[in-house]
Structure 1
Amino acid sequence: MTIDVTVRREIPLPPEQVALYAMDWRHDAEWTQGIRTAELTRPADGGGFGTGAEVTRTARFLGRRIDYVLRVAAYEPPRLLDMVSVVAPMPMRVTYSFDPHPRGTLAAIRVRGGPGGPLRLAAPLFARQVRSSLTKDLRDLERRLTEEQGGL
């Protein structure tokens, strides 16, 4: 794998509330940069969403359409969601974590993977773009949840 990027943000809400929203694939397009659609294309062995489930996402990244499938490798709500690509233009692992923090939740997204072969030379540029997107994702997650909280 060529990149390993982690971004963290304190969100002033309990981990259970943040994780409930962020771990639900039906909300992916609402707060995750570039994702246009997300669909549960394979349920977990016990049904629904969980370890073994697969989510197909269509995204735009660096101006290109990317279709990829992520398989849930670990699902431990409200603390952890770990997914690995099983169909993608490049290998990728995406890990979401939500830990208690004195001011609410310490949310983190970690992305490992990226371009291989000759494209690995572009890894530093790719890593910067991923970091920027993840930073926006967590900002948008906080904004969506706190605005929703304020509107109740």
Structure 2
Amino acid sequence: MTIDVSVARVIPLPPEQVAAYAMDWHHDADWTQGIRTAELTREADGGGFGIGAEVTRTAFFLGRRIDYVLRVAAHDFPRLLDMVSVAGPMPMHVTYSFDPDPTGTLARIRVRGGPGGFYRPATPLLARQVRSSLRKDLRDLERRLTQRTEHPEPTD
């Protein structure tokens, strides 16, 4: 049994602004449920963050620590960031997309994968938990971005 969960939310800001924050791995722990740390552990072939780059994340999910590495498979700013796991407890494919909407940006997150080991018997529960976490991620992304817009950081 595999997991395929998608969530979407309209965020009242332009796609470039939403994607600039959400596609920057430095912010992963700020708006993504359970992620405690994120680190760029391999740069893209041309340097920096792009296709081929790898981000190592440490998260807590269902009370367990999970360390995993996501490799960027597609990077089309500001529209798409697609990543696949290359190390971790289960195969995973995570897609973030940001499309123009009449009221801002239609932000979507899709997670696909097959639970392995400890998680296999809990696949239905895991899918519900992933959906709940992703909804919170988009809610928190919107809150962070709209609060930054309402209260921008001072410039010198």
Alignment TM class, shorter chain as reference:
over 0.9
Q: Is it true that 1:133 corresponds to 2:130 in the alignment?
A: no
Residue in 1 aligned with 2:144? 144
Q: Pairwise mapping of residues 76-87 of structure 1 onto structure 2 (< 5 A)?
A: 76-87=76-87
Instruction: Return the alpha-carbon distance in structure 1 between the equivalents of residues 121 and 67 of structure 2.
Output: 23
Instruction: Return the alpha-carbon distance in structure 1 between the equivalents of residues 73 and 27 of structure 2.
Output: 19
How far off is 1:123 after superposition? 1.2
Instruction: Return the alpha-carbon distance in structure 1 between the equivalents of residues 55 and 121 of structure 2.
Output: 29
Q: Is it true that 1:94 corresponds to 2:94 in the alignment?
A: yes
Instruction: Return the alpha-carbon distance in structure 2 between the equivalents of residues 107 and 29 of structure 1.
Output: 18
| Structure 2 residue runs without a partner (length 5+) | none
How far off is 1:117 after superposition? 6.2
Residue in 1 aligned with 2:55? 55
Cα-Cα RMSD: 1.2
Q: Secondary structure, in 3 states, of the residue corresponding to 1:13?
A: coil
Q: Secondary structure, in 3 states, of the residue corresponding to 1:33?
A: coil
State TM-score, norm by structure 2.
0.94
Residue in 1 aligned with 2:14? 14
Instruction: Return the alpha-carbon distance in structure 2 between the equivalents of residues 37 and 79 of structure 1.
Output: 24
Conserved? CA contact 1:2–1:120, under 8 Å: no
Q: Secondary structure, in 3 states, of the residue corresponding to 2:30?
A: helix
Shift of the 55–19 alpha-carbon distance from structure 1 to 2, 3 Å rule, reads: same
Q: Secondary structure, in 3 states, of the residue corresponding to 1:78?
A: coil
Residue in 2 aligned with 1:103? 103
Q: Which amino acid aligns with 1:85?
A: S
Instruction: Return the alpha-carbon distance in structure 1 between the equivalents of residues 60 and 86 of structure 2.
Output: 18
| Structure 1 residue runs without a partner (length 5+) | none
Q: Which amino acid aligns with 2:123?
A: A
Residue in 2 aligned with 1:35? 35
How far off is 1:122 after superposition? 1.8
Instruction: Return the alpha-carbon distance in structure 2 between the equivalents of residues 86 and 118 of structure 1.
Output: 19
Aligned pairs, number = 152
Instruction: Return the alpha-carbon distance in structure 1 between the equivalents of residues 44 and 100 of structure 2.
Output: 27
